[in-house]
Amino acid sequence: MEVFRMDGPTSVSAVSFDDLYVAVIRDGGGIAWADGAPGGRSFSAGDVGIFPRGVAHGASSNGAIAATSIYLKPSLIEKAAADLVNPDRVEIVPQLVVPDKQVKRLSLALEWELEDGFKSGRLLGESLGTALAAHLLARYAVSPMRIREYRGGMPKYLLRRTVDYMQSNLGADLPLTNLQQMWG
């Protein structure tokens, strides 16, 4: 993730990324375009753009602009898709300009963590990234995605083991994958 500001009119031509790219416009406005989308669309503060990996897109601003850019690795998307009923059909439709309050809230939480130097450690950042990926899959996937319903929760012995491990390692950087390995 990165937060950037450009102080004058700007133009970015055809870029694409190996990760899913989410842009949240904080200030300013302009025109955005993407391959496969007819013409360009006006954007302003509060708008969100969602571009799957490999989708070429660009924008030009009318003046100063500030935005938050979030890059989600394919492995994170796949991990979030594992909790869906139909995880084998994971394809997110590009969104050129869309108002999405949930994406804005999650990007703000990530931005606050970045500004704070990630003092909460890796776990919070990974959790926010997973929440963002799950939201994008549920809302913008080609096939309607439904969250798999879980009943009964985590077995008590695993919950106890996880809490004990976390309490024993309070000062350590605890990646979510370490906790998941305990459950395997």
When pLDDT is averaged across residues 144-160 and rounded to a whole number, the result is 71
Tell me which amino acid residue 176 is: L
Q: List the alpha helices (DSSP H) in 7-121.
A: 74-81, 101-115
pLDDT band at 149 (very low <50, low <70, confident <90, very high): low
Distance of alpha carbon 33 from its chain centroid, rounded? 20
Instruction: Kindly state the percentage of the chain with pLDDT values over 70.
Output: 91
pLDDT for the residue numbered 150: 62
DSSP 147: B
When pLDDT is averaged across residues 39-61 and rounded to a whole number, the result is 92
pLDDT at 160 over 80: yes
pLDDT for the residue numbered 30: 93
Judge whether 124 lies within some domain: yes
Judge whether 182 lies within some domain: no
Residue 91, both tokens? 């394809």
Q: Which residue, 121, 110, 97, 80, is CA-closest to 41?
A: 97
Lookup result for tokens 């694409």: 16
Judge whether 44 lies within some domain: yes
Q: How many domains does the chain have?
A: 1
Judge whether 183 lies within some domain: no
Containing domain of residue 44, as a range? 2-140
pTM for this predicted structure: 0.74
Helices (H) and strands (E) in the chain, counts: 5, 9
Judge whether 130 lies within some domain: yes
pLDDT for the residue numbered 10: 83
| Chain length of the chain | 184
DSSP 149: P
pLDDT for the residue numbered 85: 55
Residue 84, both tokens? 């869906």
When pLDDT is averaged across residues 110-135 and rounded to a whole number, the result is 85
Judge whether 11 lies within some domain: yes
CA dist., res. 53 & res. 1, Å (int): 15
Q: Does residue 103 or residue 179 have the better pLDDT?
A: 103
Judge whether 151 lies within some domain: no
Domain with residue 132: its CATH number is: 2.60.120.810
